[in-house]
Structure 1
Amino acid sequence: MHKGPVLVVGGGPAGASAAAAIAEAGLPVMLVEQRDQLGGAIHRQPAAGENHVWRPARHRRNWTELTARLRGSAERIEVRTQTVFLGVDGEGRFLFDDRRAGHVFAHRPRGAIIAVGAVETICPFPGWELPGVMTAGGAQVLLKETGRPPEGPILVAGSGPLLPALAAQLAKAGNPPVAVLERGRPWRAARALARLAASWAPMAEAAAYAATLAISRVPYRCGAVVTRAEPDGPGLKVGIRVGETQDTLRVRHLLIHDGIAPNRTGIPLPAPDAAVPVLLAGDGREALGADAALLDGRRAAMQMLARLGLAGTDASQVQRGLQRARGFQAALGQALHSEPVVPAPETVICRCEGRSCADLAALADDASPREIRLMGRFGLGACQGRFCGPMIAALRDRPLPAATPPRWPLRPVSVAALARLTDDETE
């Protein structure tokens, strides 16, 4: 068995929590993060010289406690920032692009915990691909890094708890959105709302968001659907539907979000007989929220220690916490449930190849997933179906096949960096 450090990929709450727990157990850890600072999306740190964006006290406290644990075990944790995970090669080596040093290195760890977070999902509509439209998560990351909101009128739309959170942060930063449009109708799910009310910490956070929006006079409209976006000078003309009522808003930015899904593209999945044990953690395993990501990082660390033959600790408290988070997310999903919106024929589905719903409908009803890919040219662009694949699966009730088995590099890497590849493995 390799005696080098345990590898943790991803410096967000789950990865940092896993690294701290393993180091506290006495093992060396290599913690790899693609950004120049730890934090991930939820705890994204501002760029040098920029102001911090307002965050709930609970999140600030969680990150302060976690970074203190990392500092307390600093002699056993090697942190490599600006280092991008490229994949696993044919020899089972984990490959990374060290962008600070300008070279690729290979590492064969004692074990690996992959905590690379989630990806956003959206429900497409005509115009979602236009300039001025971006995901709410992407906008939130930019806000946290720069400390400055986008200029001009902003509309936040879609579904999920990220919408009021981002809207409140925009308001605190000085540019409250013109409205928040939630597609779901939570008042129709009284039982789910009652279960949510029992979770005091996230509901207190939601109340703080609601108070901020009320003070800033930001309308929060439920049952509202964006039907299209069109260019309107330097901004956008956004069509919305609330019940049977049609309306139009003119804004500079449209921020959309319809939930998250685990980031699994090219990620080595756990296998019980693997020479190097691999575990997933955080939203990359199961999207359960920020607090649960901390717990799940600890769970992964406990399981890794057990896989390596070290004495484990009682994980029952962690499992109970994760089960409560699952219950909360299930109730939240029921409260915000809405009927699927069928995209208009002109809606772009595959942005890489410019393929629309009409192009998908033109294929034979019995077209196989492979025929949809090769004959319809869906999922053949730069993202290789990573973004459009779920949309097509929802419309056709069949998933697109992967282009190839996962291979490296997962991310662009320079030839010069590849030419300087070094072997960093330790036996």
Structure 2
Amino acid sequence: MAEVPILVVGGGPAGASAAATLVEAGLRVLLIEQRDRLGGAIHRQTASGAESPVWRPARHRRNWAALTARLGAAAERIDIRTQTVFLGVDGEGRFLFEDRRSERVLARRPRAAIIAVGAIETIRPFPGWELPGVMTVGGAQVLLKETGRPPAGPVLIAGSGPLLPALAAQLARAGNPPVAVLERGRPWRAPGALARLILSGGPTGEAASYAAVLAAHRVPYRCGASALRAEPDGDGLKVACRIGTSEQSLHVRHLLIHDGIVPNRTGIPLPAPEAAVPVLQAGDGREALGADAAILDGRRAALQVLARLGHASTAGAASLERPLQRARDFQAALAEALHSARVAPSPETLICRCEGRSYADLAALAEDASAREIRLMGRFGLGACQGRLCGPMIEALRAQPLPATSSPRWPLRPVSVAALAHLTADETE
């Protein structure tokens, strides 16, 4: 019987780092990635026939080149399957995937599994966020990286977090600088956090390069500013914005919104520590600490698996805790610097886009309604995304997560009955 591999789900920096560490230790690895190429969101590759690659920081290019070189050096021990979607774990403990090319569902029993599925974006809902022309900043960045082309027409970026100036700089370099960047936070109100950021040794140089690009293209970057509502305006949008104490309207073709990221833990199966098949999370899917930390965290998870299987001691994984803690401290200081009070949305604001449920529908539920009652009686999180998008919103508004954010049931993604009918199981792969 062939050697049973270690399963790694996700081909971004954490998954690639984990897979490389495992194959370098002499183990076989099955690496699955839902896209057609490895890279994840941060290292998304330009699609075939697209424009020239979008500009990105040199350290990201170096990191990804090093990871791909490590994977290539041990290609005989790694099975990389792209366009393959992780569906979950069935009642018999088999890991299920959908091979989108063959339209089949595959079942495998790995020796161990590392889940590195990254993070999901969060937004603070406001009237009109669901309109055509409104997109998350992360989604727009992925499209820019894949196509090499910026969106046409005036673009406004609003929300909070370091991804805002990063995308703004990339759009400017690609030929369409945004009309403005509206950062909700007021960092000057947290001088202690700013000082910790400067002294942390984190990616402050990268932030300075973004600021230089925005200054060169005369892109206004306003703190204490936010998008209040959007409405259709011809072939674009009319966006009401609050900048400082005044309100004004901007006419744009695209509104890009973002309010940070949270780990993508929806339905991830995490058995007891003593389970026969250990399952670990890695990267932003475990803790959102940034691209550099994701590489370290992928290695940490791989070393823990190796120790569990008797191939190494736990000392290697423990040695990574200090740099991970530095990344954790940096993210905490950043969150403090950009913190802003949350305001309840207006009644008509859509919360669950899949089911068309508004904040008024959420507020109409009893104050002591359980998370399950919110889901089943309020019909929140029952659509195609299964609460991935509205779940964090509801948790912020009601201080309770939807069951879908933690329930380890499958399928985690929609799958056709035809694909399930072609389920194949090979215990040796």
TM class by smaller structure: over 0.9
Cα contact 1:2–1:110 (8 A) shared by 2: no
Q: Matches of residues 214-293 of structure 1 in structure 2 within 5 Å?
A: 214-293=215-294
Q: 1:189 offset after TM fit, Å?
A: 1.1
User: Which residue pairs with 1:425 in the alignment?
Assistant: 427
- 2:75 corresponds to 1:81: no
Q: Identify unmatched segments of 5+ residues in structure 1.
A: none
Opposite residue 64 of structure 1, the aligned amino acid is A
Opposite residue 118 of structure 1, the aligned amino acid is A
Residues 256 and 368 from structure 1, CA distance in 2 versus in 1: closer, same or farther, beyond 3 angstroms? Answer: same
Q: 1:42 offset after TM fit, Å?
A: 0.2
- 2:156 corresponds to 1:155: yes
- 2:12 corresponds to 1:9: no
Within 2, Cα distance between the matches of 1:171 and 1:62? 24
User: Which residue pairs with 1:348 in the alignment?
Assistant: 350
**2:365 aligned residue (357, 363, 386):** 363
Within 2, Cα distance between the matches of 1:221 and 1:194? 20
- 2:57 corresponds to 1:59: no
Q: 1:381 offset after TM fit, Å?
A: 2.6
State the number of aligned residues: 427
Q: Does the residue aligned with 2:320 lie in a helix, a strand or coil?
A: helix
User: Which residue pairs with 1:47 in the alignment?
Assistant: 47
Q: Does the residue aligned with 2:336 lie in a helix, a strand or coil?
A: helix
Per-residue Cα deviation, 1:301-328 (whole angstroms, up to 9, x for no partner):
1000011111235334421110110010
Opposite residue 392 of structure 1, the aligned amino acid is I
User: Which residue pairs with 1:401 in the alignment?
Assistant: 403
Q: 1:425 offset after TM fit, Å?
A: 1.7
Cα contact 2:156–2:254 (8 A) shared by 1: yes
Per-residue Cα deviation, 1:165-214 (whole angstroms, up to 9, x for no partner):
01001111110100000000111111111111124450000011000111
Within 2, Cα distance between the matches of 1:370 and 1:411? 20
User: Which residue pairs with 1:95 in the alignment?
Assistant: 96
Q: Does the residue aligned with 2:247 lie in a helix, a strand or coil?
A: strand
Q: Identify unmatched segments of 5+ residues in structure 2.
A: none
**1:412 aligned residue (411, 414, 425):** 414
Opposite residue 371 of structure 2, the aligned amino acid is P
Opposite residue 53 of structure 1, the aligned amino acid is V
Residues 53 and 102 from structure 1, CA distance in 2 versus in 1: closer, same or farther, beyond 3 angstroms? Answer: same
Cα contact 2:351–2:390 (8 A) shared by 1: yes
Q: 1:3 offset after TM fit, Å?
A: 4.3
Residues 410 and 363 from structure 1, CA distance in 2 versus in 1: closer, same or farther, beyond 3 angstroms? Answer: closer
Within 2, Cα distance between the matches of 1:260 and 1:148? 24
Q: 1:405 offset after TM fit, Å?
A: 4.2
User: Which residue pairs with 1:324 in the alignment?
Assistant: 326
Q: 1:340 offset after TM fit, Å?
A: 0.7
Opposite residue 390 of structure 1, the aligned amino acid is P
User: Which residue pairs with 1:171 in the alignment?
Assistant: 172
Q: 1:365 offset after TM fit, Å?
A: 2.9
Q: Does the residue aligned with 1:315 lie in a helix, a strand or coil?
A: helix
Opposite residue 374 of structure 1, the aligned amino acid is L
Q: 1:398 offset after TM fit, Å?
A: 2.9
Q: 1:143 offset after TM fit, Å?
A: 0.5
Within 2, Cα distance between the matches of 1:287 and 1:253? 27
Per-residue Cα deviation, 1:363-398 (whole angstroms, up to 9, x for no partner):
333333333333333223333333222222222233
Within 1, Cα distance between the matches of 2:368 and 2:407? 25
Cα contact 1:184–1:336 (8 A) shared by 2: yes
Q: Does the residue aligned with 2:70 lie in a helix, a strand or coil?
A: helix
Per-residue Cα deviation, 1:99-139 (whole angstroms, up to 9, x for no partner):
22332211100110000001100000000010100100001
Per-residue Cα deviation, 1:36-57 (whole angstroms, up to 9, x for no partner):
1110000000101222110000
Opposite residue 176 of structure 1, the aligned amino acid is P
Q: Matches of residues 327-338 of structure 1 in structure 2 within 5 Å?
A: 327-338=329-340
Residues 166 and 37 from structure 1, CA distance in 2 versus in 1: closer, same or farther, beyond 3 angstroms? Answer: same
Q: Does the residue aligned with 1:314 lie in a helix, a strand or coil?
A: helix
Opposite residue 294 of structure 1, the aligned amino acid is I
For the aligned residues, what is the CA RMSD? 1.8
Within 2, Cα distance between the matches of 1:374 and 1:411? 19
Deviates more, 1:79-88 or 1:36-45: 79-88
Within 2, Cα distance between the matches of 1:85 and 1:23? 21
User: Which residue pairs with 1:18 in the alignment?
Assistant: 18
Within 1, Cα distance between the matches of 2:66 and 2:384? 40
Cα contact 1:2–1:109 (8 A) shared by 2: no
Q: Does the residue aligned with 2:22 lie in a helix, a strand or coil?
A: helix
Within 2, Cα distance between the matches of 1:2 and 1:199? 47
User: Which residue pairs with 2:126 in the alignment?
Assistant: 125
Within 2, Cα distance between the matches of 1:405 and 1:208? 42
Q: Does the residue aligned with 2:203 lie in a helix, a strand or coil?
A: helix
Within 2, Cα distance between the matches of 1:164 and 1:297? 27
Cα contact 1:270–1:279 (8 A) shared by 2: no
Within 1, Cα distance between the matches of 2:365 and 2:420? 41
Query: Normalization by structure 1: what TM-score?
Result: 0.96
Cα contact 1:152–1:253 (8 A) shared by 2: yes
Opposite residue 371 of structure 1, the aligned amino acid is E
User: Which residue pairs with 1:301 in the alignment?
Assistant: 302
Q: Does the residue aligned with 2:316 lie in a helix, a strand or coil?
A: coil
Q: 1:244 offset after TM fit, Å?
A: 1.9
Percent identity, aligned pairs only, is 77
